[in-house]
Chain A
């Protein structure tokens, strides 16, 4: 109800304004939106000033509706505004994954009449075949690990008899979680009046989309949010039983004795955590020379020391799996490896199962991009920094945006959502460019890995180019009271910063609850908070957040405190 109240305002202010062109729309809409944002809180607390302002706004926009009309129409359309004359929707999103969902919610909040097209199940990869069910499995693996670690339990004075698990029970937990979140997601959109259109969405032309086989809908703006599917390199035959992708693995239909995981990125690492906790042995196959490429090298090294070396895991690096044959006729899964550089055959592995975690490929086929003259690059939809789709000639395609895995900028669920929100901000008249360096990422192993911003080599490269100095600060979880109380002192937090300005370039954490700890750093980056300011902020003691407190305090910034945090207030 709260949202529909605040939302009823916007359609009449922004969307019914005649728009001869984009620029005039932007200039006219901007101040209105700003005032609207300021109004929101008041709207919830005190209704009468809102009404008067509404009338005022209406007069500004020269609407014929009276205030009463306005309220009625708002309640009838469930807060989704009255239909525009020329388009079926203000915003149409193709793909109801986390990115599309985030965009839809924000669009409704901004008063846009929003439709979302889903050809499969609501929730997309993250909810159904990704982050969500994997967290359920990882929750199980974390507990199994604790219960199996006699040494650790003994140090805490605990005694537990042999821990065991029921595979189907674990699988059900993951499945139940996915359907629960899927329902939550669906209901959250339905509740605020987002139209969920079932069927495959195909772009027919500018502002026109076909849903399913015959239905055609039009929209002022369209967001492509079709996401991605597991990438399976050539030569690998996926049978879904013994050679699997994350889609199959999350169903946990079996726990093989020995599983090879091709790729040691986030997905591979998380699954290695799950499988080893459930008793499997794991062999990593990594094409690059080092495990865990993409992580800060120092974090990767420590993570290898904790997550790989002591576990029942071995690895082959610098090799490609050129051919993987599923198990059949009593033969095991056969994996042929070649040297990544010389391309010479190197080894053959026989294992019980292979998980292909070589990344994800954009799911953009059959989207009708050719109808708007857009050529994908390796399947990705080319976009500018505002997620506006670029056509084959390098020109922007008006009213067409692409977010999430489909554009490949940053293949993370929350990044897709943030991009979607950014697009909605733009189409409702507020220019917005998402700072991808402020988007945190996390790998939910035990312990977790998280990061935001640049890695040390990236920062050094940038510093070289732009001519500034880079400093590094590190703190260990071994010095944190809470971590030691949990007997989980293994861990490191690393801060990469500019000593001249105190700007945070990157933060990397490996340790207990790292994924939850990163947000202090990512928020600081997003808001531009400098170290000299944030180091004065207070953290509760004893908490893991003190690891970051220590980290900021150990940084040596030459610049003085730019501005006092706030005026001292006596309490």
Chain B
């Protein structure tokens, strides 16, 4: 049988004119070769056979034998998928399958070692250690190989950790207190794939059965934790999953947010919305993006310029009896932070040029992340911007922070079909904003004319760059 290997796959016989290269004999004998190092003479390498003339690498479909199994000559050991067919591969020698070096699903180039064959049982251990040392070298073997630290491989441990923190057990009646998990077939498959421990997933299916979406949710929850941890190692310890069924007290920041939100209820607010066409702004942004200008800075600048013409919108009501016209235009921008929200302030945004403003913004964000913002850097805002456009939010409604007169909620700038004044239909980028204001000092007409001014600036943004 040995002569059948390769010979029938030699290019000349496979008539290159024919589109169907025929594997004449599908059972392939493994050729083993002596290890080049000759550490142990009786250990042979099983290598990826060439199943066709065009085959450069093969995928291990399945191992029909496991490590330690006795093999006799001619027995099928492994199923290999080539570019043409799946084929059973037989061994050419008697012996023991000592170590599998490329796991199922792994890909190996033709001629590379995929397993070791020991001649006697005593040599299995030797072969195993040899496989362990060589697997570090052959990083091209399997994706699941333990050796190389692939980026993807970093996620599963995270998943496991996060999942194990969510202690709630399946509430399935038959789970016998969590000893037994009732999960649908696909949920089981997914859990294996995503490395989610089923026992710790809360089932949402009938009678509390774990279904696929529960596993997906568990995996997603764990993964969403992952990147944050990777981004800032210092906060990794805090960025763990949520413990379901527990009560967690507010942090200082969360407490402050809570107080402010309750306080805001004492202010009579109203809202005015407006849609801007942002084609010109987008074009400008594209032009000066390379100089470090951010969209946040552009919006803050535009808002500040509009506020300069409408000082009443930049005012506030401190005592319920008077207007406080602020001397400077300080644009606070809401930033979501791990476990809270903070509003770094771009001071004198109407006066500072766009490039300096952008640099300032970057500095503030870095400080905010490191929790090093000074009080004047986050509590001196006179007007607030809140932008959720990057999430694809097209419009939303903001709560007015106490002590200020107005807050503008900015949605995403999206291509929109519009009817133009000349009676045509066109495509324009449009962005919706919604301003919440304290009606004690700012009236509807004030906001309306402010927004009109802002619209003019955004739709003709040449002034933003001076």
- Chain B residues with CB under 8 A of A283: 185
Q: In whole angstroms, what is the CA distance A257 to B22 when docked? A: 43
Q: In whole angstroms, what is the CA distance A15 to B297 when docked? A: 105
Q: Which of B23, B27, B61, B88 contacts A305 (CB 8 A)?
A: B61
Q: In whole angstroms, what is the CA distance A350 to B181 when docked? A: 11
Contact A314 B189 (CB under 8 A): yes
- Chain B residues with CB under 8 A of A258: 184-185, 209
In chain A, positions 285-322 with a C-beta closer than 8 Å to chain B are 298, 302, 305, 312-314
Query: Per-position contact with A for B54-68: 1 when CB-CB < 8 Å, else 0?
Result: 000000011000000
Q: Given the interface contacts A283-B185, A475-B22, does A257 sit within 8 Å of B84 by beta carbon?
A: no
Contact B21 A313 (CB under 8 A): no
In chain B, positions 3-40 with a C-beta closer than 8 Å to chain A are 19-27
Q: In whole angstroms, what is the CA distance A382 to B88 when docked? A: 42
Q: Given the interface contacts A314-B188, A332-B207, does A546 sit within 8 Å of B20 by beta carbon?
A: yes
Query: Per-position contact with A for B389-418: 1 when CB-CB < 8 Å, else 0?
Result: 000000000000000000000000000000
Q: Which of A281, A475, A481, A546 contacts B186 (CB 8 A)?
A: A281
- Chain A residues with CB under 8 A of B23: 475-476, 479
Q: Given the interface contacts A332-B206, A350-B174, A478-B85, does A554 sit within 8 Å of B24 by beta carbon?
A: yes
In chain A, positions 469-494 with a C-beta closer than 8 Å to chain B are 472-476, 478-481, 492
A118 within 8 A of B: no
Q: Given the interface contacts A332-B206, A476-B26, A479-B85, does A281 sit within 8 Å of B20 by beta carbon?
A: no
Nearest-neighbour CB distance to chain A for B62, whole angstroms, equals 8
Q: In whole angstroms, what is the CA distance A455 to B186 when docked? A: 32
A229 within 8 A of B: no
Q: In whole angstroms, what is the CA distance A553 to B187 when docked? A: 45
Contact B205 A257 (CB under 8 A): yes
Contact A312 B206 (CB under 8 A): no
Q: Given the interface contacts A258-B185, A314-B188, A350-B182, does A492 sit within 8 Å of B174 by beta carbon?
A: no
In chain B, positions 163-218 with a C-beta closer than 8 Å to chain A are 172, 174, 182, 184-189, 205-207, 209, 211-212
- Chain A residues with CB under 8 A of B206: 257, 332, 352
Nearest-neighbour CB distance to chain B for A62, whole angstroms, equals 64
- Chain A residues with CB under 8 A of B207: 331-332, 350
Q: In whole angstroms, what is the CA distance A350 to B180 when docked? A: 12
- Chain A residues with CB under 8 A of B209: 258, 350
Tally A residues with Cβ within 8 Å of B: 31
- Chain A residues with CB under 8 A of B84: 476, 478-479
Q: In whole angstroms, what is the CA distance A332 to B88 when docked? A: 43
A406 within 8 A of B: no
- Chain B residues with CB under 8 A of A478: 83-86
Q: Given the interface contacts A257-B184, A281-B185, A332-B207, does A302 sit within 8 Å of B22 by beta carbon?
A: no
Count chain A CB atoms within 10 A of each CB in B19, B62, B184, B187 and give the residue with the most.
B184
A550 within 8 A of B: yes
Q: In whole angstroms, what is the CA distance A492 to B23 when docked? A: 12
Q: In whole angstroms, what is the CA distance A348 to B174 when docked? A: 9
Name the CB-closest residue of A to B25. Answer: A554
Q: In whole angstroms, what is the CA distance A107 to B143 when docked? A: 65
- Chain A residues with CB under 8 A of B174: 348, 350
Contact B20 A481 (CB under 8 A): yes
Name the CB-closest residue of A to B176. Answer: A348
Count chain B CB atoms within 10 A of each CB in A298, A313, A332, A473 and give the residue with the most.
A332
In chain A, positions 404-447 with a C-beta closer than 8 Å to chain B are none
Contact B22 A312 (CB under 8 A): no
- Chain A residues with CB under 8 A of B184: 257-258, 281, 312
Q: In whole angstroms, what is the CA distance A478 to B84 when docked? A: 5
Nearest-neighbour CB distance to chain A for B150, whole angstroms, equals 23
Q: In whole angstroms, what is the CA distance A492 to B87 when docked? A: 10
Query: Per-position contact with A for B91-125: 1 when CB-CB < 8 Å, else 0?
Result: 00000000000000000000000000000000000
Nearest-neighbour CB distance to chain B for A544, whole angstroms, equals 12
Nearest-neighbour CB distance to chain A for B73, whole angstroms, equals 17
A282 within 8 A of B: yes
- Chain A residues with CB under 8 A of B22: 475, 479, 550, 553-554
- Chain B residues with CB under 8 A of A480: 20
Name the CB-closest residue of A to B21. Answer: A479
Query: Per-position contact with B for A527-558: 1 when CB-CB < 8 Å, else 0?
Result: 00000000000000010001000100110000
Q: In whole angstroms, what is the CA distance A350 to B212 when docked? A: 16
Q: In whole angstroms, what is the CA distance A188 to B20 when docked? A: 45
- Chain B residues with CB under 8 A of A332: 206-207
Q: In whole angstroms, what is the CA distance A527 to B276 when docked? A: 82
Q: In whole angstroms, what is the CA distance A348 to B180 when docked? A: 10
Q: In whole angstroms, what is the CA distance A546 to B19 when docked? A: 12
- Chain A residues with CB under 8 A of B211: 257
Contact B189 A312 (CB under 8 A): yes
Q: In whole angstroms, what is the CA distance A298 to B62 when docked? A: 13
- Chain A residues with CB under 8 A of B172: 350
Name the CB-closest residue of B to A474. Answer: B26
Q: In whole angstroms, what is the CA distance A554 to B4 when docked? A: 13
Nearest-neighbour CB distance to chain B for A346, whole angstroms, equals 12
Q: In whole angstroms, what is the CA distance A458 to B96 when docked? A: 29
Contact B185 A313 (CB under 8 A): yes
Q: In whole angstroms, what is the CA distance A193 to B187 when docked? A: 58
Q: Given the interface contacts A352-B206, A476-B86, A478-B85, does A312 sit within 8 Å of B186 by beta carbon?
A: yes
Query: Per-position contact with A for B298-310: 1 when CB-CB < 8 Å, else 0?
Result: 0000000000000
- Chain A residues with CB under 8 A of B86: 302, 476, 478, 492
- Chain A residues with CB under 8 A of B24: 554
- Chain A residues with CB under 8 A of B189: 312, 314
- Chain B residues with CB under 8 A of A472: 27
Count chain B CB atoms within 10 A of each CB in A302, A473, A554 and give the residue with the most.
A554
Q: In whole angstroms, what is the CA distance A553 to B184 when docked? A: 46
Nearest-neighbour CB distance to chain A for B201, whole angstroms, equals 16
- Chain A residues with CB under 8 A of B85: 476, 478-479, 492
23 contacts between A and B (CB under 8 A): A257-B205, A258-B184, A258-B209, A283-B185, A312-B185, A312-B189, A312-B212, A332-B207, A352-B206, A473-B26, A475-B23, A476-B26, A476-B84, A476-B86, A478-B83, A478-B84, A478-B86, A479-B23, A479-B85, A481-B20, A550-B20, A554-B22, A554-B25
Other A-B pairs, 16, CB within 8 Å; known A257-B205, A314-B189, A492-B85? A258-B185, A281-B185, A282-B185, A302-B86, A313-B185, A331-B207, A472-B27, A473-B25, A473-B26, A475-B26, A476-B85, A479-B84, A492-B86, A550-B20, A554-B24, A554-B25
Interface residue ranges, A against B (CB under 8 Å)? 257-258, 281-283, 298, 302, 305, 312-314, 331-332, 348, 350, 352, 472-476, 478-481, 492, 542, 546, 550, 553-554
Instruction: Name the 7 nearest CB pairs between A and B, nearest first.
Output: A476-B85, A312-B186, A314-B185, A474-B26, A281-B185, A281-B184, A281-B186
